[in-house]
A and B are shown apart, each in its own frame.
Chain A
Amino acid sequence: MLLGVLAVVLYKRLLYREFPCFFAYVLYEIAKFIPLFALYSVQGVTGKQYAYAYCVTLLLSIVLRFGVIDEVCKDLFRESQFLKVATRRSLQCVTGLLLGVGVLLAVYAPGGNSARWYAGIFVVNRGAAMVQSGLLLVLLLFSRFLGLSWRRPAFGIALGLGVLTSVDLAYSALRAEFASEVGAELLDLLVTSTYLVCVSI
């Protein structure tokens, strides 16, 4: 519902022109709920089939989030040609470093969840969340350090996505490790609440 409202606001304020990837991400998040909910409700669908579908939608979500971060980054440096050039290499280094840490973690801490391949999804999500929240954190710190001023929509997107990916990182780390049903439900509830807060931002 909230995502629907957000999509309408983006459309009415013509923000989809400036942030097409974010607009696509919002629409995608709304759209992916329908098949996933249908698979969850249909009797014949096994847990494994649902998990496969969840995995595919999650991977697309991760890709779109990277697109959104790129958009936020371009918006932040829009007014300075010098910064566009000067920061490109720094951001590439940060991304490479975070990716390296994510891969190392995936190799050396692959998760203790008994369902190995299911844990694998959370390990991938954990790595992606780490890179994304790290990038957004660096962007915010960098802008503060340089005295860059944010435009309101980009600031909201960066903050919302930053909070979401940070909580996602904690969630994926715990889900990759523990398989307890009660714990999983609590974690799902926590992530859903965070999602609502982030959409409101």
Chain B
Amino acid sequence: MEQGTSILGQALISQAPIAAWTLVAVAFIALGILVYVAIRSRTRRGDLEGTVQAFRSLDIEAFRNLVDSAEEAFLRDNLPPKKFREIKRRRAWAALLYAWEAGRAATALAKVGQAAQRSLDPEIAASGVQVTENAFRLRLQSVRVSLRLLTEILLPDLRSRSLPPLVDQYERAAETLFRLGRFSSSRLLKN
């Protein structure tokens, strides 16, 4: 018993410097990430044209089909379980890529919206507020959807509840973006 306690004690003592060096490593990794993120954050700018392009290029109807619960029920009823799991994983994976791209488009949209908020034109500034709020909502929505899709990839047999309304949010965000695009040119947004 005593021997066991002393071995445990020795192990804890020898672990202490390891904890210290681990914290030093953690601190320097944090430092590296801080500097990297800081440099990248300062160099990025909102680009209206690029963001409109990103929104137009995403086939949101295809995403809607991939996450359609009626289609999933049909596949579940008509396919053998093994085949169903395989197909569901593929569909969830494809939908995850769409959600990821929607999230990236939302980040770009937020940048454009914030640039528009600084505009001297009150109409553009007000539109910028709407764009930004929609972009943030879309970004967070895309995270929730991605997490749900990841769960479906890992556990395809799980009966999925309806996904958060990413498509509706995407359409709302796109609408505000196109309205902003009509109001202003990208030249104004650079100010």
**Chain A positions near chain B (C-beta within 8 angstroms):** 79-83, 86, 105, 108-112, 126, 129-130, 133-134, 136-137, 140-141, 143-150, 155, 159, 162-163, 166-167, 169-170, 173-174, 176-178
Contact = CB atoms under 8 A, between A and B. Distances in A.
Nearest 8 A/B pairs, CB to CB: A147-B110, A109-B19, A173-B23, A147-B107, A170-B27, A177-B20, A169-B27, A166-B31
Interface in B108-128: 108-111, 114-115, 117
B30 A105 contact: no
Interface residues of B, number: 41
B114 A140 contact: no
Contacts of A86: 136, 140
A166 B132 contact: no
B30 A147 contact: no
A194 to B, nearest CB: 10
A146 B143 CA distance: 11
A148 B46 CA distance: 11
B23 A169 contact: yes
Contacts of A162: 30-31, 34
B16 A147 contact: no
Contacts of A129: 27
B34 A146 contact: no
Interface stretch (B36-44, B54-62, B68-76, B86-94): B36-44
Given A112-B13, A166-B31, A147 B26 contact: no
A147 B105 CA distance: 10
Contact of B27 (A79, A81, A167, A178): A167
Nearest to B140: A86
A82 B135 CA distance: 11
A109 B23 CA distance: 11
Contacts of B37: 140-141, 144
B8 to A, nearest CB: 12
Q: Is chain B's binding surface mostly helix, strand, loop or mixed?
A: helix
Contacts of B133: 80-82
A129 B38 CA distance: 19
B52 to A, nearest CB: 15
Q: Is chain A's binding surface mostly helix, strand, loop or mixed?
A: helix
Contact of B136 (A105, A110, A146, A170): A146
Nearest to A141: B37
B112 to A, nearest CB: 9
Interface of B: 12-13, 15-17, 19-21, 23-24, 26-28, 30-31, 33-35, 37-38, 40-42, 46, 106-111, 114-115, 117, 129, 132-133, 135-137, 139-140
Contacts of A134: 30
Contacts of A130: 23, 26
Contact of B41 (A80, A83, A126, A150): A150
Contacts of B23: 105, 126, 130, 169-170, 173
Contacts of A170: 23-24, 27-28
Contacts of B28: 166, 170
Contacts of A82: 133, 136-137
Nearest to B39: A159
A173 B13 CA distance: 15
Contacts of B137: 82
A174 B33 contact: no
Contacts of A140: 33-34, 37-38, 41
B144 to A, nearest CB: 11
B136 A144 contact: no
A148 B114 contact: yes
